[in-house]
Structure 1
Amino acid sequence: MFTGIIQGLGTLQPLGTDKLQITCSSAVSGLMLQDLAIGDSVAVDGVCLTVIEILPQGFIAVASPETRDRTTFSRIHGTPVNLEASLRVGSKLGGHFVTGHIDGIGYLRDAIQTATSWEMTFTTDDPRVARYLIPKGSIAVNGISLTVADCDPSGSWFMVAVIPHTYAETNLQYLRPGSPVNLEGDILGKYVEKFLRLNASLPPRSDPSTHYESLNASFLAEHGYL
């Protein structure tokens, strides 16, 4: 589990068909590697990877064919990647719950600098991503916890406002129109969707003593979830 708060940048290089080498600066190594152990999880551009070897300035991780096919890893060799160590019990949760399991790929449409932020618009044609996009909802872009400022009803595009600190400390600064990014929808939204779907398919209970309130959009709105 991660929070979407990036701790540093590294570069990614493939090693054979199933391994990736992530190299980072001495400053980032000092921050991330001092407590890193074999078997630990690290989010690399939002992808949860398992460390199998620790290097003086980086680490080696395993990436399955499914991971390569479903993420940007096959297209970004040698470019900066965002790094975040897994969340520890008692640590601050500054972003939102990020699992490191990518739903799909999106693409930068444009990035416009304003007086207070960068307004970045991304597109996606993957329904596994689009269905969880709502205004003011959470989205992880290359592992970065961001808030959806606006999106279309179908979820084919969304816009986020990125503060200068986040822009400067992550690989968002290196994106250009058409650049691919890893996208992960909010895990809470996925569970709500499943509960609503299951609730709709359940037969009514005949025993009044086992009555329970229906989990539907009205129930969620009444209790502050929508």
Structure 2
Amino acid sequence: MFTGLIQTIGKIERYSNGQLTISCPEIRSNLAIGDSVAVNGVCLTVAEILARGFIADVSPETLSRSNLGAGNLPPVNLEMALAVGDRLGGHFVTGHIDGVGALCESKMTGGAWEISFSAPEELGRYIISKGSIAINGISLTVAQCNGLGTWFSTAVIPHTYDSTNLKYLQIGSSVNLEADMLGKYVEKFMKSDRQNQRQQSAITSDFLAEHGWN
């Protein structure tokens, strides 16, 4: 579990034989084998400690569902897993990517950055105005969105912009998106309730015959 508050920026040095080598001297001394680290919002496990970073195993599924498999990837956002007793300053981020979006526009307005993104349609239903979303692992608040949620904007303060890889993105750059898990649970509970109600209210000829109505 993560908070979406980025601790440092690292760099993917290489990908080989199902492993990513990531340099991150700022947090290297705090890492241990088996630790979870969010890399651009993707939860990875430290498999080996290096002098200036770590190696993590990564599956083809992870590469296909995130931007970690993209070539010429800019520096990546890094966050170590939330420890018991830590402050939760962002929102609950699982490190399980829901889809890949893209940067549409980025501009400075009134002392903050207004940044807009596109999102896959299947993810759009979880994107709501003033809701939470993780973009490359960064906990951000949706400022505005269209009806389908396939386009949305965020307001980013200079500190967040300068401390993350948002400053390296170009128009069209891919970004990992993780919707707020609370919305996904609510959707499932409501869907389950509707199915149960339909089953309970369904009166068929077989039901009547089974209960003595001929």
Task: Tell me the TM-score normalized by structure 1.
Answer: 0.85
Of 36-45 and 71-80, more deviation after overlay is shown by 71-80
Distance 2:192 2:15 in 1: 43
Answer yes or no: is 1:67 the counterpart of 2:66. Answer: no
C-alpha separation in 2, matches of 1:103 and 1:172: 19
Range with bigger deviation, 166-175 or 194-203: 194-203
Equivalences, count = 200
Q: Which residue of 1 aligns with 2:82?
A: 87
SS in 2 for 1:73: helix
Q: Tell whether the 8 Å contact from 1:3 to 1:94 is kept in structure 2 after alignment.
A: yes
Change (3 A) 1:77 1:41: farther
What is the rounded CA distance, in whole Å, between the counterparts of 1:104 and 1:200 in structure 2? 27
Q: Which moved more, 1:32-41 or 1:86-95?
A: 32-41
Q: Which residue of 1 aligns with 2:3?
A: 3
Question: Which AA in structure 2 matches 1:13?
Answer: E
Residue type of the partner of 1:149? A
- Deviation, structure 1 residue 125: 2.7
**Structure 1 counterpart of 2:190, from 169, 193, 196:** 196
Correspondent of 2:146 among 152, 174, 188: 152
Gap change, CA 1:126 and 1:64, over 3 Å in 2: farther
Shift of 1:13: 3.0
Residue 136 of structure 2 is matched in structure 1 by 142
58, 64, 69: which one pairs with 2:53?
Answer: 58
* Compared CA separation, residues 165 and 23, structure 1 to 2 (3 A): same
Identity %: 55
Structure 2 CA distance for partners of 1:53 and 1:77, relative to 1, 3 Å = farther
Does the 8 A contact of 1:105 with 1:126 survive in 2? no
Corresponding residue of 1:178: 172
Contact 1:96/1:145 (<8 A) preserved: yes
Give the counterpart letter for 1:16 in structure 2: S
Q: In the alignment, what sits opposite 1:21? A: 21
Unaligned runs of 5+ in 2: 201-214
- AA of the residue aligned to 1:93: L
- The residue number in structure 1 matching 2:40 is 45
What is the aligned partner in structure 1 of residue 119 from structure 2? Answer: 124
Partner SS, residue 60 of structure 1: strand
Q: CA deviation at 1:203?
A: 3.7
- The verdict on how the C-alpha distance between 1:71 and 1:65 changes in structure 2, with shifts beyond 3 A counting, is same
Give distance in 2, aligned partners of 1:176 and 1:205: 50
Contact 2:37 2:44 in 1 (8 A): yes
- Return the index of the structure with the highest Cα Rg: 2
Would the alpha carbon gap of residues 76 and 84 (structure 1) be closer, same or farther in structure 2, given more than 3 Å must change?
Answer: farther
Q: Measure how far apart 1:116 and its partner are.
A: 2.0
Distance in 1 of aligned mates of 2:72 and 2:21: 10
| Contiguous gaps of at least 5 residues in structure 1 | 207-226
